[in-house]
Amino acid sequence: MQQLFLTSYFEPAMKNTPSPDRWLVLLYQFPKGPDTRRVRMWRRLQRIGAVAIKNSVYVLPNNEQTQEDFQWLLADLSSNGADAAILESRFLDGMNDHDVRELFDAVRRADYEELRDEIETAIAALPAGQDGDHAETQETGRRALARARKRMAEIAAIDFFAAPGRDAAEAAMRTLAKRTTAEATDAMKGEETMVPFALENLKGRLWVTRRGVRVDRIASAWLIRRWIDPEARFKFVADPGYEPGEGEIRFDMFEAEFTHAGDQCTFEVLAGLTRPGDTALTHVGEIVHDIDLKDGKFGRPECDGIAMLLDGIVAGTGDDGQRIDRGCVLFDDLYRSLREHRA
């Protein structure tokens, strides 16, 4: 086993956010006996989002919720005759924090991809045309959408480091919703119906998005600050069903006021609404699109370099506000470069 620096589990609880260098480790060993106990424990570990770093050695980021999750498992293990312990730790050699985060991201990415595939299968099974006119089709679609939303909430709850893949799954959910509800089908008649606000009325708002901001959310926050709401404040939430409070506007999250539309990422939608004739901003949107959606639609040569810089910002801090602040500097420089190059 790689070296660990171990401290008492009974230290005061840390803040309820994942720490970049403090982890909870569950170690356990069952006596010889039926494999059903091992399978049941493995399933419970999957449900709480723990990942294995060795056989029967599982890790979670250290916060109040994960401490409680491991405590319940420890009680279950003890009642089934297993030797078990919970350790608070940080890595000194062998694996490092980045390696462990990649383990979490790989599992959650696979979860999102599996969910997206399931949704796309449900969409493909629907008849073509105005499906909202068919009660049976509409009900089938609603059941599929309800299952997808439930599964999305389950994955998001254990997506500790904002793994890639969620945006594609949410885009598939939006397509399913449009195919199965008359209201959503009506909304497709004009993209302007998805934005119930005049841009000039969006000053001094609290802008809400998912925690763990990456390329599209960072770029969108930059655009919001620069051209829509210079005094914008940002709030980061985990719940995919978050309902906005008074004065709050959601962006780049499921059912947000501003989010993906068709094959456009959130940044492209915002750019088209605020500065549709700005060629440099359009080029920024093409770069953000290619990095975010990974479909190579525009083939922008800048993508690899900008993606590396954004990866550095994300790796450098887990604080979403700091990511946006640092990203704003990057996008200011990128926009200036594209504008001057065109001139």
* Banded pLDDT at 12 (limits 50, 70, 90): very low
CA distance 32 to 340: 71
Query: In this predicted model, what pLDDT tens digit does every residue of 296-320 receive, in sequence order?
Result: 888 888 999 999 999 999 989 989 9
At residue 103, the pLDDT reads 94
How many domains does the chain divide into?
3
At residue 186, the pLDDT reads 44
Q: Collect contacts of 43-46 with beta carbons under 8 A, ≥24 apart.
A: 44/73, 44/76, 45/73
CA distance 177 to 144: 9
Which amino acid belongs to residue 261? Answer: A
Q: CB of 330 within 8 A of CB of 316?
A: no
Same domain, 180 and 199: no
Query: In this predicted model, what pLDDT tens digit does every residue of 26-51 receive, in sequence order?
Result: 999 988 776 788 888 999 999 999 99
CA distance 97 to 220: 28
Same domain, 148 and 200: no
Lowest-pLDDT choice from 127-141, 314-328, 329-343? 127-141
CA distance 88 to 9: 5
CA distance 253 to 223: 16
Lowest-pLDDT choice from 34-48, 139-153, 262-276? 139-153
Q: Identify the burial level of 3 via C-beta atoms within 10 angstroms of its C-beta, where 0-12 means exposed, 13-18 middle and 19 or more buried.
A: exposed
* Domain end residue (candidates: 74, 95, 116): 95
Same domain, 215 and 313: yes
At residue 96, the pLDDT reads 85
Query: In this predicted model, what pLDDT tens digit does every residue of 109-129 receive, in sequence order?
Result: 999 999 999 999 999 888 765
Lowest-pLDDT choice from 15-19, 23-27, 225-229? 15-19
At residue 20, the pLDDT reads 45
Same domain, 196 and 316: yes
Write the DSSP string, 258-291: B--BTTB-HHHHHHHHH-TT-HHHHHHHHHHHHH
CA distance 188 to 214: 27
At residue 17, the pLDDT reads 43
Same domain, 45 and 136: no
Same domain, 156 and 277: no
At residue 26, the pLDDT reads 95
| Kind and range of the H or E run holding 327 | helix 320-342
pLDDT over threshold 70, residue 326 = yes
Mean pLDDT of 44-59: 92
Partners of 51 in the β-ladder: 59
| Domain span at 221 | 191-342
The answer to whether the pTM exceeds 0.85 is no
Q: Is 202 helix (H, G, I), strand (E, B) or coil?
A: coil
Residues 6+ apart with CB under 8 A from 251: 207, 208, 209, 217, 220, 224, 257, 258, 259, 266, 270
pLDDT over threshold 50, residue 331 = yes
* Domain end residue (candidates: 60, 95, 130): 95
* Domain end residue (candidates: 128, 157, 187): 187
Query: In this predicted model, what pLDDT tens digit does every residue of 67-102 receive, in sequence order?
Result: 888 988 998 898 888 899 999 988 767 788 889 999
Mean pLDDT of 167-192: 64
Mean pLDDT of 258-279: 89
Q: Which of 243, 132, 127 minimizes the C-alpha distance to 188?
A: 132
Same domain, 125 and 200: no
Same domain, 46 and 67: yes
pLDDT over threshold 70, residue 230 = yes
Q: Is 238 helix (H, G, I), strand (E, B) or coil?
A: coil
Query: In this predicted model, what pLDDT tens digit does every residue of 281-300 receive, in sequence order?
Result: 999 999 999 998 887 888 88
Same domain, 337 and 219: yes
At residue 238, the pLDDT reads 80
Percent over 70 (pLDDT), the chain: 83
Same domain, 170 and 244: no
Same domain, 200 and 284: yes
Residue 266 structure tokens? 């959130």
Same domain, 299 and 220: yes
